[in-house]
Structure 1
Amino acid sequence: MNFFTVSFFIIYFSVGAGELCTKITENLHYSCMGRNLSYIPPSIPSSVQTLDFSFNDLKHLQKTVFPVLPFLRVLDLSRCHIKHIENDTFNNVKNLTALILTGNPITYFGPGCLSSLSNLQRLVLVDVGLLSLQLQMNNLTKLQELRVGTNNIQSVSLPSIMSNFKDLHLIDLHANNISMIKTDQTAVLREIGRNMTLILSRNPLSYIEPGAFKDIYLRELDIRSAFVSSAAQKAGLQALYGLNVKRLMFGKFKGDFKFQFSDADVLDGLCSIHFQEIYYYIIERPSETVFIFRCMINATNVLVKHGVIDEMEYVFFHEIKELYLLQNQLATLPGKQLSHLHTLEKLVISHNIEPIRPGTFIDMPKLQYLDLSSNRMTLTRCCTTLLSGTPQIRYLNFSQNAEISIELGGLDGLASIEILDFHHTRVLDLGYYSVLSNLTYLRYLDVSYSSITFINIFSFYGLRKLEILKVAGNHFRGDVARYLFNNLTLLEHLDMSYCRVVELHPSSFKNLQRLRLLNVRGNKLMTIDFLALPDLKRLTSLYADKNSITSIPLHVLQKLPTNLSEFDLSSNPIDCSCSQTDFILWIIQNQNILKQPENIFCKTFSPSSDFRATDFDIDSCVHKKRLTIVLSVCFVTVVVLLSFLVYRFQFYLQYCCILLRGYRSPGQQECSYDAFVIFSSYDEVWVMNELMENLENGVPPIQLCLHMRDFQAGKSITSNIIDEGILGSRKIIVVVSQHFIDSAWCRFEFELAQSRFMLEHSPNIIIIILEDVEEGKTKKVFGLHKHLKKNTYLKWSRDPLSNMRFWIRLRKAIIAKKK
């Protein structure tokens, strides 16, 4: 490889590497995570404030690694295979406030490697192989968090300089190798401020020197899973006497090794610790009854989780405000044991392992928050018995239980409730009666998936301050949804998803002028015309996905709420056809407000189609529309033309139809007449007085067919002309005059006569010129001029001699070939 090739490769790699970094926020936040980079790309702007460079390959950190980035505040170098950090490494990024070095196998820290980071507030050295906390941190006086968990640190001893770190409030030492804590190791902790959180969880503590934490003030101490045995835990709690801590967290993490308790007084050491809040994660099953709460009577907040409490002991808490009993084994709600706690404000008893039986809470005047969710509880009469002495309750949660029955007046005395939650609990009677009518302060109601059938339109009567209502997964009988929400004038959030609703009448929301979010997901709606009403002018979010909507009319789209910023139409069977171009065009142009526009599929082609509506070609519809218009115009033109031709040649068409039925020549049939006379009605006098008189009264008599005498009544003129005249006569006499030329019927009869002449190839037409007609006018009758040129005709004359000769010749022409 020559020099030119090497140079080209380096330039190409540099440009490519810069492009690999992802811009999160223009000029401020970039991510180069997992790009296998060995340097900071030059494309990173000097204005960057946050840089995620994790999962790359740096190995050696020195001053030249980082370009000058004076505004960089957060630098993440997690798992970059860093082994050595030289002095002044961070000199070009000295304004860092957060440095994350998690997961690097660091074997060498330069004595002054951190000295330039005088503004550093957060230092993360998790899983870097640290053996102690004795780091050179002299200049890190603004440090607030030091996270050094998952290392091999064996002592809590802090550098003496840290006693001057007045802003330090978190030291995380979880999962190290600290087995004992002595008094001299906690000296710096005594001098640091009282806002410190110390995390010692998952350390193998076997010994704490008594008094090691005496006169130490901590905001929080976490010693969960921090003792090697139950004996070590008992002794450790006793050794913590004199400790002042706001929040104490101890016990075990779920899944950790369990202790086998044998002492009822295993928690007595808590009596010598001053704490306000205590969180106990039990996990273990003691071999005998343990008095859990005996040393917690002065706490304000108590949490017991994963306990094996079958029945709670009577505890006379002095100042308790919050009590949490989570995932325990209570058989009955400890109403009697907790009654008369005049200071208790919040009580959470949830996720009980066994189905819990209801109890009674009496004389708890300050109780405002009661969570009894996920206990598989069945409450037949709610709630005056259960909550007979709790007049100040504002939050009541019965969700995810078995069954709750609310009787009329069952919520009397609980008018202060603001939040009521029944979701995924079968609730009886709520859809039939107005059992909530006295909850005039209720702001939030969740009865989702509560097996309710709403029949009574006054089910929510009286809830005039309700702002959030969730009725998902229930059912509305008949037209009740049209009136059910009319009195909820302050409602801002309505969830009606998965209620099997087929249609929503526009008046269903006529009074909900403050509604901001409407969820009708998962129903069977085919239209959402209610959006066109002005009542929903404040609507910002509409979820109408997973319905049966094929299209939305243009007039509805034009009247959508102006504040609508989130509209979900995904998973609907959208009709992508040229008849819906207005709707498809709206989808394409409004993807900014559509949620998941990529999931709006065209179902015109097939139910499983994955063709996106946004990919529909509107232009093709324009061409198709133009083609349709052209074809329509052509079709109309052809129809009009054909109609004109049919009207113009209707007689000929009828004649053709008769011929198609089968033509019979005079030789094949017996003719009724000797001759059919074609003449104008204006020449009727001559025909009757001269032609008929001389031919029918002569010898031999010649039988003429005259239309006014011989045509059958009730039969169409055309059929008479063809059947009686042309086909029923051996000869055809044509009386030509000026009136004949001007008559449409005469022209038609002559043209039909010519068609017979063409079929038989015999001289069956006898023309009589009754009066002289200009040669040019004879051309007006199709074939007449040509016939006169090629065939002999007779001319009527009033001269006696000529007249006699005329009748002789005419009679002879008619009776020629007569059998």
Structure 2
Amino acid sequence: KILIPLGKSMHFIYLVSCCLLPTWVRFAPTAGYSLGSCVAHGSLNYTNRLKVLCYSEQLRLVPSNIPPNVTVLDISDNLISRIQLENFRNLSNLRVLNVSRNLISRVAEGAFKHLVNLQELNMARNKLSVLSENIFEGLGNLTVLQLGDNNIKSVESTAFRFLLSIRFVNLTTNELQHLNKVRPILKFPHLQQLHVGNNSLFTFQTEDLSDFPLALKVLDLSWNPLTKLNVTTDILPKLESLDLSYSGTNGSEEWYIRDGFLLRDVKKLSLNGTNISEEVLFSVLQCLNSSLEVLTMSNLKHLKVKAFLNVTCQMLPLLRVFNLQGNSLGSLGDGLKPCSLLRDLDLSRNKLVQVADFVFKNMSQLHALNLSYNQLNAVPVAVRIITSLETLDLSYNSISELKSSDFAKMTMLKELYLVNNLIRDINGSAFQDLINLRSLRLGKNHIWMITYPMFLSLRKLVVLDLKSNQLSSLKNGTFQNLNSLKSLNLVDNQISEIEEGAFQGLLNLTTLLLGSNKITGDILRTGTVFSGMPALRELQLFDNFISYESTAKLKSPPFSLLKSLKTLSLNSQGHEGLLNLPSNFLEGLDSLIELHAGRLNINFLHPQTFSYTPKLSFLDISRNAIGNLTPQLFQPIPNLTEFILTQGRLQTLDFLIHANLTQVKILRAKGNELTVITESLIRSLPSVKYVDLRENSFSCDCDNSWFLKWALHDTYAQVIYMNTYFCKYPPNLRGMKLIDLKMDSCSVDLEFICFISSTTLVALTLLASFFYRFLRWQVVYAYYLFLAFLYDNRKKRRRPVLQYQYDAFVSYNTHDELWVLRELLPNLEQVQGWRLCLHHRDFEAGKPIIDNIVDSIYNSRKTICLISRHYLESEWCSREIQVASFRLFDEQKDVLILVFLEDIPACQLSPYHRMRKLVKKRTYLKWPGHREETRMFWHKLNIALQTRGEADEENPLLSGLDTQD
């Protein structure tokens, strides 16, 4: 027998407890990745890449479930009225925060103190009126502060003291009346841009702002009623841009610059709409004549601009960019002649009807000229003289004809804009000198035909825009000389005929836009309509009239020659739609990556449809009532990463389970009839990051419990706009948000079950170990007693009168076997004739010992226990007396005879509680110490063997025997 020491037993229990602890402690799930009204760009697993967008969602409070590792947070365009102290407590990684276009009127002091890494804060277009003392606490790394379009009237003197790294401050459109409110922020050495336009500033005096030079490079004072502007101290030595647009009070202003040296680095000056006198204007320009390079003087409606154009150019010898748009000049004489060094001139929106022929004669360095939004009916002759011109914009005029001489000698021109004119016919010779032209924009005209050789000389042309014209056909060889062309835009014409070879020669064309025309399936039937474009990467055929009667294979697939095509747009075909997609329609598109096939009115896709596009990664088949989508349809496109199935009347997405789309990252199935999203569906899309299932008919029951749990707690994928998912079934929950559904009754708490199971297992193991160590034989004994009980009941039913094989079973220890053979057997069997059962003689060989014991005791009328010290120490003797004791208890008959072969003190009987219990309750016989007393012993034993009746009916002959106390 092995005994486990107490110390080791405790160690065992400790180990069991340690094993149980992980299943008992229930950890809280990871913060959910479904952010309700917000959309996260990036993964929770990447600290420096997470961007959360919550704009335009009617939010009234700052969302509380923003991931702590977000770096960009946009909650603009909502209904938030206050910033609470705890709103951004856990967002220490935030670098950009946009809370613009809200109703914020109050910010708790210290609300930003945890944003120690914030670099940009946008609070524009709110209702702030006061910048309190500690409003910017903690923003020591902030570089950009946007506070425009508020109601700020008051700024505490220490409000900006935490902004040690600030570079850009925008306070435009507030109610500031004095610049001393922002004086503290000017002291910071890194501040480069200050915008205080559209306030109520009446004065700007450098002597009141600072006593030392500032680092400002850009100063915006526009839209202020400045009556006094005094620059008398040298505090702006680095200022490069000064905006005084729409300032002044129409003649009553006092603008004074003591010395031009004080603004020696100002290169850009904006005086748009300035309400000042000509005298003040000239004085300002005179002070900046040594440095000014860019001057904008738009919308000077109250000044006679023509009168001082000549003087302005003479006064500013370094002027390079001159913006005069919106001044209603009407005509242009020789006022710009002195502006010989200009590189960029903007004369748009001036109602120009005519331009003097030699107005630009001296502008030999002019590179860009903007004459758009005027009333010119022909290309001005003055333009032809500018041989240095690289960009010419004549858009939005009334030009109806292009002559061969219009662009003569303009060999340096690279960009020509003629958008939205009245051009109907184009003379091919109009562009003959534009040998370096890169971009030609002819959209929104009335061009009805392109004739050869219109583009003969444009061999370097890269972009040709002919959208929104009246082209009806494309003839063979139309574009054959445009070998460098990369983008051709023919959208929104009336093209119904494309001759074979129309695109011949476009060897470098990468983008062809043919949307919104009248192209039909017959045009594409030859299969060679798109020949001549080996490098084409994008083809748009949306909003045409392509249709097919069946899905049968085409003899000549239309795109078989476009081996390099990567993007194809077929969506929104006119009339009744595409109707059918031929099974080999996409044949030849081995490189296709992106396919737009939405709103085609197709209800079936052949299983071989995508077998020709193995590299497809984007697929849009939205707004099609395709009833039978099978997994086999999508198995040829395992690289699909974005799948759009919106508004397709789909009732299930289970076809995706075996579609092998393991690379899908974005799944959009908005506006269908989905009721249940299964676990197997989500598991089949292991790479999915964004799921959009809005406007579906969700069933709010346990079938969606797994999906709801996954949507809220998965840290990799995001179910966007989860708070807009509503229940449709059952009827009593219709209209309730899916996110509000309680799924406690649906979930099986595996952790708790494991805890209970493991606890029970360990407890049973401990109990089994305990019973095996201390009560093993009692259990065995009880088992056999139970069997005996069943056996006894069965015997009682079958045999009313018991028949015993033996008169007595003798239970003794082997050390007492000699006494049994010499004394017991001769007297009881030979003299008195009793039939005894002895284990060494009568046990059945090969039968288990315990079975022999039980059978022998129950096959004997009595059991004689010969008790000695050796008997008490014997394990098998203990089993025998246990069985006999149970028979005594079970049958309630006098079946047990105790015989003590030697004197045993009560103290030695104490450890043997069962024996002591029997001795205390029953009379027993004791082997006499003297020979003369043996006859009485055998006589009493003989009488005991003859006893019948109940156990409590003591035989009178035994009533005087000894008892143990």
TM-score higher than 0.5 here? Answer: yes
Q: How far apart are residue 518 of structure 1 and its match?
A: 1.3
Q: Residue by residue, what CA displacement relative to the aligned partner does 1:104-149 show, whole Å, maximum 9, x if unpaired?
A: 2123425842244222232221222122443525677443432222
Report the TM-score, using the length of structure 1 for normalisation. 0.63
Q: Distance in 1 between matches of 2:704 and 2:164?
A: 60
**Matched residue of 1:469: which SS?**
strand
Match of 1:540?
A: 617
Match of 1:173?
A: 244
Q: 1:264 to 1:439 in 2, by over 3 A?
A: closer
Q: Distance in 1 between matches of 2:545 and 2:349?
A: 43
User: Which amino acid in 1 is paired with 2:696?
Assistant: R
Q: Distance in 2 between matches of 1:561 and 1:280?
A: 56
Q: Distance in 2 between matches of 1:61 and 1:104?
A: 12
Match of 1:100?
A: 170
Q: 1:146 to 1:264 in 2, by over 3 A?
A: closer
* Kept in 1: contact 2:623–2:646 (CA 8 A): yes
Q: 1:131 to 1:330 in 2, by over 3 A?
A: same
User: Which amino acid in 2 is paired with 1:495?
Assistant: S
User: Which amino acid in 2 is paired with 1:150?
Assistant: W
Match of 2:540?
A: 470
Q: Distance in 2 between matches of 1:53 and 1:244?
A: 39
**Matched residue of 1:91: which SS?**
coil
* Kept in 1: contact 2:354–2:376 (CA 8 A): no
Match of 2:407?
A: 338
Q: 1:536 to 1:287 in 2, by over 3 A?
A: closer
Q: How far apart are residue 365 of structure 1 and its match?
A: 1.6
Q: Residue by residue, what CA displacement relative to the aligned partner does 1:713-767 show, whole Å, maximum 9, x if unpaired?
A: xxxxxxxxxxxxxxxxxxxxxxxxxxxxxxxxxxxxxxxxxxxxxxxxxxxxxxx
Q: Residue by residue, what CA displacement relative to the aligned partner does 1:237-270 show, whole Å, maximum 9, x if unpaired?
A: 53332342332211208xxxx56x5x762x5235
User: Which amino acid in 1 is paired with 2:390?
Assistant: K
Equivalent residue for 1:222, pick from 296, 306, 320: 296
Q: Distance in 2 between matches of 1:132 and 1:586?
A: 71
> Does structure 1 residue 125 correspond to structure 2 residue 193?
no
Say which is worse superposed, 322-331 or 17-26, in terms of deviation.
17-26
Q: How far apart are residue 24 of structure 1 and its match?
A: 9.6
Equivalent residue for 1:249, pick from 308, 320, 323: 323
Q: Residue by residue, what CA displacement relative to the aligned partner does 1:31-77 show, whole Å, maximum 9, x if unpaired?
A: 45423214345365232333333455654445444323222222233
Q: Distance in 1 between matches of 2:560 and 2:492?
A: 25
Match of 2:13?
A: none
User: Which amino acid in 2 is paired with 1:519?
Assistant: H
**Matched residue of 1:539: which SS?**
coil
User: Which amino acid in 2 is paired with 1:340?
Assistant: K
* 1:249-648 → structure 2 map (5 Å cutoff): 249-252=323-326, 258=328, 261=330, 265=333, 268-272=335-339, 274-284=341-351, 293=360, 296=363, 298-314=365-381, 315-352=384-421, 354-359=422-427, 360-379=430-449, 381-384=450-453, 386-403=454-471, 405-427=473-495, 429-430=497-498, 432-453=499-520, 454=523, 455-476=525-546, 478=548, 483-499=557-573, 500-528=577-605, 533=610, 535-557=612-634, 560-564=637-641, 566-576=642-652, 581-582=654-655, 593-595=666-668, 597-601=669-673, 612=696, 619=703
Match of 1:674?
A: none
Equivalent residue for 1:114, pick from 180, 185, 190: 185
User: Which amino acid in 1 is paired with 2:495?
Assistant: V
Q: How far apart are residue 151 of structure 1 and its match?
A: 1.0
Structure 2 gaps, min length 5: 1-79, 677-692, 707-965
Q: How far apart are residue 568 of structure 1 and its match?
A: 1.9
User: Which amino acid in 1 is paired with 2:567?
Assistant: H
Q: 1:299 to 1:54 in 2, by over 3 A?
A: closer
* Kept in 2: contact 1:503–1:525 (CA 8 A): yes
**Matched residue of 2:405: which SS?**
helix
Q: Distance in 1 between matches of 2:240 and 2:339?
A: 24
Q: How far apart are residue 476 of structure 1 and its match?
A: 3.5
* 1:671-682 → structure 2 map (5 Å cutoff): none
Report the TM-score, using the length of structure 2 for normalisation. 0.54
Q: Distance in 2 between matches of 1:397 and 1:534?
A: 35
Q: Distance in 2 between matches of 1:440 and 1:149?
A: 51
Q: Number of aligned pairs? A: 585
Match of 2:286?
A: 212
* 1:172-191 → structure 2 map (5 Å cutoff): 172-177=243-248, 184=257, 187-188=260-261, 191=264
* Kept in 1: contact 2:88–2:114 (CA 8 A): no
Match of 1:3?
A: none
Match of 1:45?
A: 114
Say which is worse superposed, 26-35 or 460-469, in terms of deviation.
26-35
Residue identity (%): 16
User: Which amino acid in 2 is paired with 1:343?
Assistant: M
Q: How far apart are residue 341 of structure 1 and its match?
A: 1.6
Q: Distance in 2 between matches of 1:362 and 1:126?
A: 49
**Matched residue of 2:338: which SS?**
helix
Q: Distance in 2 between matches of 1:216 and 1:533?
A: 68
Match of 1:201?
A: 272
Structure 1 gaps, min length 5: 1-12, 623-819
Q: How far apart are residue 338 of structure 1 and its match?
A: 0.8
Q: How far apart are residue 462 of structure 1 and its match?
A: 2.1
Higher normalized contact order (CA 8 Å, seq sep 6+, divided by chain length): 2
> Does structure 1 residue 28 correspond to structure 2 residue 95?
yes
Q: Distance in 2 between matches of 1:288 and 1:563?
A: 58
Match of 2:160?
A: 90
Q: Distance in 2 between matches of 1:417 and 1:243?
A: 40
Match of 1:801?
A: none
Q: How far apart are residue 372 of structure 1 and its match?
A: 0.8
Match of 1:629?
A: none
Q: How far apart are residue 572 of structure 1 and its match?
A: 1.6
Q: Distance in 1 between matches of 2:554 and 2:235?
A: 69
* Kept in 2: contact 1:120–1:140 (CA 8 A): no
Say which is worse superposed, 169-178 or 17-26, in terms of deviation.
17-26
Q: Distance in 1 between matches of 2:438 and 2:83?
A: 60
Q: 1:527 to 1:134 in 2, by over 3 A?
A: farther
User: Which amino acid in 2 is paired with 1:52?
Assistant: N
**Matched residue of 2:343: which SS?**
strand
* Kept in 2: contact 1:574–1:601 (CA 8 A): yes
* Kept in 1: contact 2:230–2:255 (CA 8 A): no
User: Which amino acid in 1 is paired with 2:282?
Assistant: E
* Kept in 2: contact 1:490–1:512 (CA 8 A): yes
User: Which amino acid in 1 is paired with 2:272?
Assistant: S
* Kept in 2: contact 1:157–1:186 (CA 8 A): no
* Kept in 1: contact 2:352–2:376 (CA 8 A): no
Q: How far apart are residue 332 of structure 1 and its match?
A: 0.7
* Kept in 1: contact 2:531–2:561 (CA 8 A): yes
* Kept in 2: contact 1:398–1:422 (CA 8 A): yes
Q: Distance in 2 between matches of 1:541 and 1:188?
A: 60
Q: 1:498 to 1:82 in 2, by over 3 A?
A: closer
* Kept in 1: contact 2:640–2:664 (CA 8 A): no
Q: How far apart are residue 618 of structure 1 and its match?
A: 8.4
